[in-house]
Structure 1
Amino acid sequence: MNKYRISKKQALITLVFVFIVNLFVSCDNFERDFQDERFLSEEHFTEINNSGGTTGIVALDGASLSYFRDGEDGEIEFGIKSIDLGMDLRSNDMDMSRSTWYGAYHRYDNTVLTSGNNDFMWEFFYKAINNANQVISLISDEAPEELLVYKSKSYAYRAISYFYLIRIYQHTRADDSTPAIPIDFGDFVGESKATVGEVKKLIFDDLTAAYEGLKNYTRATKEEVDANVVAAYLARYHLTYENWSEAEKYADIAMKAGSISADVAHGFDELSLSEAIWGAVVTPNTSEVYQSFFSHISQINDGYSGWNHFKTANSNLVDALPASDLRHSWFADQEYPPGVVIVPGTWPHYNRTPKYTSLKFIAQPGPGQFIGDYIYLRNTEFILTKAEALARQNKTAEAQKTLFDLNSVRDSNYTLSTNTGQALIDEILFYRRIELWGDGVASFDMARLGLGLNRKDGRVNLVQPGADLVIPPLDTKMIYEIPQREVDANPNIN
């Protein structure tokens, strides 16, 4: 990998790495107040340098988590949630009303090697990988358990990053021998493309190592990675590559890390929600205000969505949902005129809200503030993953019951499905599209299922000009080109 520009945040992290070799001495008390800062500050760096023990590694772990939350400095470069939103806007299920931030994702204009969006995604994940590589290389396999925990976490960060990259830059159904992306070995030497199979093996090996290393670890908050979080990504991995029994196994573990809530109108802005498995707390200190997920998707705040860059759901999808299902509240049921306050006590909305506009994600308070936590994983995803994995193994009764356990909470009129075979799988996939709308799953599901894009399907919700596309599954537009900066800096890219 070429060495990308280094921001102040990245420079501070690098300085910590330089000093980390000197930190393996006793340390009893060190406040992790840096969690309330957007970046690792000079003050915290001084504390880390003077404290010893595991403090430096703990700080590096916090810095990695902060990077997942904050990303780079740009209106749509705010970390994992930024990429999740961009990927959803490439799906059949989410649209936006006009050309503005994220418009290029929606129009599929940014897959080319010169795209800034493309460059950001590549840079973001390879920086995360490099941070993880440094921690992994610093901690020997014979280190004390309290250090090995952080090595295991870094295996997870690296695996998560490669899992995004392999699905963004290569077709999910590509043969294992297909050239894909370079593997970064931590030395900034430009590597040639590894094959799909080699990258998949690295992801699996890293997730397995992380899971085994975190089995006995109890995290302090949901902001930390533990074995349940790793199980969630193992479930995603195995579902993606059709290892059904393993997908079932790990989905069962992940889904039990949370519990379904009957309250669906909470805005998905609190990590304390019972369904949340992993995410990031956002405070006034760490909020990036307009450069944030909720600015771009929360209709009741004065951000980009509320101004008139509406994010809407495919009307065909919403209209197919039974009227008694509580998830209808996630989408505007009519055209609301300017000035209507849709959620009591929130921003006195001065723009219209078209039918099918997203009301699922709501940040409080407003206006001008977006203090909403980022939820990366919810247990309901893994209930649906387990149901699908069961159905694909012809464990029909178990699959029906698992789907019922979720849908009966969302819809009091829902009855145990009598569908079998492909009809049952299709029902599960329909509810997966509804339940996980806006969670960053939709386009990745399209890729694993071998589905193309079809926005000329009779939908009546708003679609920005130029985005009413039809693209077949294996078209080159469905994946991203390796960015120009990497091509220019890496002579081994082939």
Structure 2
Amino acid sequence: MTHFKIPKATGLVLVAAASLGCNDLALDPYASISNDAYFQSMGDFRAAVVGVYDQISIADYYGRSIHLMSDIMGEDVKQNGSANRYQEFADFEGQVLTGHDYETELWAEGYEAVNMLNMIINSDFEPASALAQEYDQIRGEAYALRGLVHFDLVRMYAQHYTFTADASHPGVPIVLESDVTSLPERNSVGQVYAQAVADLQTGIGLMTQTRRGSYMMTREAAQALLSRIYLYMEDWSNAVSMADAVINSGKYSLVSGQAYVDQFATGGSSEAIFEIQNTDTDNRGSDSLGGMYRASGYGDYLPARDLLDLIDSDDIRMSMFEVDPGLTGIYAAHRVMKWPTASNTDNIPVIRLSEVYLNRAEANAQLGNAGEAQADLNLIRQRGLSTAADVTATGDALLDEILVERRIELGYEGHRIHDLMRYKLDINRVDVTGDVAFMGYPCNFCILPIPQEETDTNPNLSQNTGY
């Protein structure tokens, strides 16, 4: 394995560089040569960006870890009797630095993706005029993906945006170019969010094509992700604006009935905005996300009964769960079957249209636009259960209903812990089989530790509180 340190940040919005020596980020062979030597044709750019999509699909990133680690730190998952993978995060163990190193792997794979993206972005290449639009599209995808990866890293390894009044608390390093000699410090959370927004906005300005539907970044996917980021920033007006852009594009529509159940296994549905594709020949195998829940896989994690109690028995979303007669006692009786295929070919959502509607509903509710928020909430709720009563709540009660709907609709897609933290709520596990039933806010262990090998080799890199 080739070792290198994370390059010093030279950001669009930064005054100084931020932090960290990353010794275990493996460089692909092409990453060890100069951009000019590697990028000599459009074919090189096409191959490079496909390599990034493959990179973020691995089990240590979107293929499993980022969704699973987020969910097992929340309320909606309980461990089976033999669970050990990721168990240290489920039980909020402050000594996870000596565990399975899942936090090291996510960190390493995220920054390897950033390195690959920087090569595309920073390359000095002039395409033929006939290829200029495709070239801009690929560079736009690279910018948007770099924004996404930085956002993913900061939400996993740092406290939420409003943890401090000015988002000045430690985030993660912003990496915009390679410098193997740097030992940078951590940028603030506010700086990382600003960089992610800037990159996504740049990508939106460059992208004009849709190359492989929901399996590649598009202008609308970047806008959808911005609706989420602005929501986390409590920039309600911009969250509404970005959600409006996606919904009003006319390119997406909600699916219902059996199509709702099938969308994760078949992929490419009309509500899939950006998702990780798995195929018969390219999938995560036994390391798949679904395999952590299914009896045909490891089956380490089970749905909490208090989440199931929130879902009407006639709601189509109950089809995401299956009764397993082999589960007894405190482990009974359901399994998560959102990703049901034993061949591990289910697609993993990064962002779906239903989330965009819920983002807009929450932002409008915060802005006092109760009618608009109720309409979007009704759309999602009644898509699941056509007989559900119209929402009439306003104010805090309306926000509570939106958060419950997010819990149901976006379950096991890595959202609940982030929703709890940004609303500064305690974690109350009603149905719990592990060691911890309650974790009060603020929560030191609801974010991952900075990998120990990084803090050991870079004296400028601070560890998260409690680890």
TM-score range, shorter chain: 0.7 to 0.9
Is the CA contact (8 Å cut-off) linking 2:274 and 2:350 kept in structure 1? Answer: yes
| Separation of aligned partners in 2, 1:447 and 1:56 | 42
Is the CA contact (8 Å cut-off) linking 1:267 and 1:362 kept in structure 2? Answer: no
**Which residue of the partner structure matches residue 245 of structure 2?**
253
Q: 1:327 aligns with which of 311, 317, 320?
A: 317
SS in 2 for 1:95: strand
Q: 1:182 aligns with which of 169, 173, 198?
A: 173
**Which residue of the partner structure matches residue 401 of structure 1?**
375
Aligned pair 1:228/2:220, yes or no?
yes
Q: 1:107 aligns with which of 91, 95, 114?
A: 91
Using the TM superposition, give the Cα deviation of residue 142 of structure 1 relative to its aligned residue in structure 2, in angstroms: 9.7
Letter of the aligned partner of 1:296 in structure 2? M
Q: Given the superposition, is the C-alpha separation of residues 171 and 183 from structure 1 closer, same or farther in structure 2, using an over 3 Å criterion? A: same
**Which residue of the partner structure matches residue 318 of structure 1?**
308
Using the TM superposition, give the Cα deviation of residue 151 of structure 1 relative to its aligned residue in structure 2, in angstroms: 2.0
Map 1:232-381 onto structure 2 (within 5 A).
232-255=224-247, 257-262=251-256, 263=258, 264-266=260-262, 268-299=264-295, 302-305=296-299, 309=300, 311-332=301-322, 336-337=325-326, 354-363=332-341, 366=342, 369-381=343-355
**Which residue of the partner structure matches residue 137 of structure 1?**
122
**Which residue of the partner structure matches residue 21 of structure 1?**
37
Letter of the aligned partner of 2:461 in structure 1? I
**Larger relative contact order (CA 8 Å, sep ≥ 6):** 2
The Cα offsets for residues 139-166 of structure 1, whole Å up to 9 and x where unpaired, read as 4699944323222211112111111121
| Separation of aligned partners in 1, 2:217 and 2:118 | 17
TM norm structure 1? 0.80
Aligned residues: 427
Which consecutive unaligned segments of at least 5 residues does structure 1 have? 25-52, 72-76, 339-351
Using the TM superposition, give the Cα deviation of residue 385 of structure 1 relative to its aligned residue in structure 2, in angstroms: 1.0
SS in 2 for 1:360: coil
Using the TM superposition, give the Cα deviation of residue 197 of structure 1 relative to its aligned residue in structure 2, in angstroms: 1.9
Is the CA contact (8 Å cut-off) linking 1:450 and 1:473 kept in structure 2? Answer: yes
Is the CA contact (8 Å cut-off) linking 2:171 and 2:188 kept in structure 1? Answer: yes
Using the TM superposition, give the Cα deviation of residue 114 of structure 1 relative to its aligned residue in structure 2, in angstroms: 4.2
Is the CA contact (8 Å cut-off) linking 2:310 and 2:408 kept in structure 1? Answer: no
Q: Given the superposition, is the C-alpha separation of residues 422 and 57 from structure 1 closer, same or farther in structure 2, using an over 3 Å criterion? A: same
Q: Given the superposition, is the C-alpha separation of residues 384 and 6 from structure 1 closer, same or farther in structure 2, using an over 3 Å criterion? A: closer
Q: Given the superposition, is the C-alpha separation of residues 19 and 180 from structure 1 closer, same or farther in structure 2, using an over 3 Å criterion? A: closer
Which piece of structure 1 moves more, 226-235 or 318-327?
318-327
Percent identity at matched positions? 25
TM norm structure 2? 0.84
**Which residue of the partner structure matches residue 440 of structure 2?**
472
Q: Given the superposition, is the C-alpha separation of residues 378 and 454 from structure 1 closer, same or farther in structure 2, using an over 3 Å criterion? A: same
| Separation of aligned partners in 1, 2:291 and 2:239 | 34
**Which residue of the partner structure matches residue 209 of structure 1?**
202
| Separation of aligned partners in 2, 1:314 and 1:254 | 33
Aligned pair 1:156/2:144, yes or no?
yes
Q: Given the superposition, is the C-alpha separation of residues 121 and 317 from structure 1 closer, same or farther in structure 2, using an over 3 Å criterion? A: same
The Cα offsets for residues 185-207 of structure 1, whole Å up to 9 and x where unpaired, read as 42132211212222121111111
Q: Given the superposition, is the C-alpha separation of residues 118 and 5 from structure 1 closer, same or farther in structure 2, using an over 3 Å criterion? A: closer
The Cα offsets for residues 374-400 of structure 1, whole Å up to 9 and x where unpaired, read as 332211111111111111111111111
| Separation of aligned partners in 1, 2:62 and 2:324 | 32
| Separation of aligned partners in 2, 1:95 and 1:103 | 10
Which consecutive unaligned segments of at least 5 residues does structure 2 have? 1-5, 7-20, 463-467
Is the CA contact (8 Å cut-off) linking 1:324 and 1:413 kept in structure 2? Answer: no
Please identify runs of 4+ aligned residues in structure 1 that moved more than 6 A. Answer: 140-143
Letter of the aligned partner of 1:226 in structure 2? T
Q: Given the superposition, is the C-alpha separation of residues 487 and 357 from structure 1 closer, same or farther in structure 2, using an over 3 Å criterion? A: same
**Which residue of the partner structure matches residue 344 of structure 1?**
none
SS in 2 for 1:179: coil
Using the TM superposition, give the Cα deviation of residue 337 of structure 1 relative to its aligned residue in structure 2, in angstroms: 4.0
| Separation of aligned partners in 2, 1:205 and 1:190 | 24
